Amino acid sequence: MTSNTHIPLTSSELSNLWMTYQKKTMIVRFLEHFKEHAKDTQTQQILNNYSNLANQAINDLTSFFRQEGAALPLGFTENDLKKGTPKLYDYHYDIMFAHLLTKISIGLYALYSTMSYRKDIRAFFKRLTSEGQDLYDQCTEYLLEKGILARPPYISMPIDYSFVTDKGYLSGYHIIQENRSLNSIELSLLHHAIETNLTGMQLMIGFAQCASTKEVKDYFIRGMKLSKEVETTLGDFLRKDYIEPPATHAGKVTASTVAPFSEKMMMYITSLLSTFGLGSNALGGAFSLRSDLPITMARIGQKVYFFAKEGGEIMINNGWLEKPPQVEDRKKLTK
Which CATH number applies to 180-317?
Answer: 1.20.1260.10
- List the chain domain ranges: 11-145, 180-317
Cβ partners under 8 Å of residue 197, min gap 6:
227, 230, 231, 234, 277
Cβ partners under 8 Å of residue 176, min gap 6:
none
pLDDT score for 103? 94
Residue 270 pLDDT greater than 90, yes or no: yes
- Contact predicate 119/4, CB 8 Å: yes
Lowest mean pLDDT segment, chosen from 212-221, 276-285, 309-318: 276-285
Topology adopted by domain 11-145? Ferritin (1.20.1260)
Distance (Å) of CA 188 to CA 114, 202, 238, 241, 269 = 26, 22, 10, 14, 25
Measured distance CA(96)–CA(109) in Å, rounded: 20
11-145 and 180-317: same fold? yes
pLDDT, mean over the chain: 92
Helix, strand, coil fractions of the chain, as percent rounded to 5? 65, 0, 35
Confidence of residue 121 (pLDDT cuts 50, 70, 90): very high
State what percent of residues in the chain have pLDDT above 70. 97
Amino acid at site 67:
Q
pLDDT score for 173? 65
pLDDT score for 289? 87
Strand, coil or helix: 226: helix
Residue 78 pLDDT greater than 60, yes or no: yes
Which stretch of DSSP H or E encloses residue 155?
none
Q: Helix and strand tally (H, E) in the chain?
A: 9, 0
Q: What is the pLDDT of residues 133-179, one digit of tens each?
A: 999 999 999 999 999 998 999 999 999 999 998 888 887 665 556 78
- Residues 99-108 have a mean pLDDT of 95
Strand, coil or helix: 89: strand
